[in-house]
Amino acid sequence: MKSNEGSTFNKVEPYIRPELSLKDEIKLLTFNLQPNHFHLQIKQKTPNAMTKLLRRVCTRYSNYFNRRYNRVGRLFQGVYRAIQLLKPIDILYVNYYIHLNDWFERDEDKRLFLKKGFNLNKVISSAENPYSSLPYYLGKAQSDWIKPQEILNLLKKMPNPCFSYQDFLKTRLLRDFDEVLAGKVLED
């Protein structure tokens, strides 16, 4: 979801931390907050749990932003997009994409590729970004509201298993992101 204002998220936890009332309905697997949009990978345990969570998150952040900057009206330019991921490879690919989102761009044919200057070792060694769940996957942060173990367990069950998240990132699991999204829009 993109913000109309190009705003930045000042603190992660007050906005995306799953509310206690939803803790039995969703698991937050992955997140990455960008200056004007965000990505969440959520495992939904009950129908409409994701809708409830995103409604609360977006309303709470919009209210905060409007009060802080003395404005009224909509903050986000559109509704969120959600896709259902059933294949383990798609779940892993989206996780990879979310964590390395800052380093992806598209060429003139809309194909996804990593930007020039991308250095995975540098990304891993400096993974202390409070606006991403990457530090949680690399063991540099812990919390009860982000659930990396679900993805880490999945990595070990793949045909070519990865036993660390660093190894997974190094595989450069690149596929066309649009292929993963194709025909999977649940909410629009």
- Separation between Cα atoms, residue 40 and residue 127, nearest integer Å: 18
pLDDT digits (tens, 9 = 90+) for 132-177: 899 999 888 888 888 899 999 998 888 878 888 888 887 755 555 5
Q: Give the helix ranges, DSSP H, for the chain.
A: 13-16, 49-68, 88-99, 120-125, 134-137, 149-156, 165-170, 177-181
- Separation between Cα atoms, residue 34 and residue 77, nearest integer Å: 15
For 7-17, what is the mean pLDDT? 50
Using the predicted structure, report yes or no on whether residue 39 has a pLDDT greater than 60: yes
Q: Quick one: what percent of the chain has pLDDT higher than 70? A: 70
For 88-116, what is the mean pLDDT? 75
For 60-84, what is the mean pLDDT? 85
pLDDT digits (tens, 9 = 90+) for 106-138: 666 656 666 676 777 777 776 677 788 999 998
Lowest average pLDDT, out of 5-9, 38-42, 61-65, 143-147, goes to 5-9
